[in-house]
Structure 1
């Protein structure tokens, strides 16, 4: 059985106005990940994502391969699981 983990990540760079939230939501659903993505007022994007390490790795790899998204920096911290979460959403 796969160990499930949850991370909070903050992305900076060209990450707003380029479809980052749509891409994150689409890819998270492909890998059956849960969590959310949200634009922040400072121009960064916050993601909380929950799933296996391998699925999260593939999620991040896919985000980094988009031609419009240009991630300059990503801060990542492991956080407690959200047991009742069932899907990945875009927060506004």
Structure 2
């Protein structure tokens, strides 16, 4: 499968509710690299790299576990490999 990288923005009541920790924990079940972090505007940003179906499954798992806090999800492609991502973690 072809490697993809996506930037996914979650909006709603997504900060201060364990969103980053849960997202990082969920990433362990998927072959994805990247990070999750809070943005100053109140959104949470996830950058995920992996094959397309794996990223899709990861995003669905986030929606399934945290859907009560999410109002909107916006996804856009990013260039793969710049900079290289080796694991998934929380950024502060």
Same fold flag (TM > 0.5): yes
The CA distance in 2 between the partners of 1:69 and 1:18, in whole Å, is 11
Q: What runs of 5+ residues in structure 1 fail to find an aligned partner?
A: none
2:31 aligns with: 32
Q: Deviations over 1:28-56 (max 9, x none)?
A: 12112101100011111011100111111
Q: What runs of 5+ residues in structure 2 fail to find an aligned partner?
A: none
CA RMSD of aligned residues (A): 1.6
1:61 aligns with: 60
SS at match of 1:86: coil
The CA distance in 2 between the partners of 1:9 and 1:87, in whole Å, is 17
What is the CA distance between 1:62 and its match in structure 2? 0.8
The CA distance in 1 between the partners of 2:57 and 2:67, in whole Å, is 18
> May I ask how many residue pairs the two structures share in their alignment?
91
Q: TM-score, normalised by structure 2?
A: 0.88
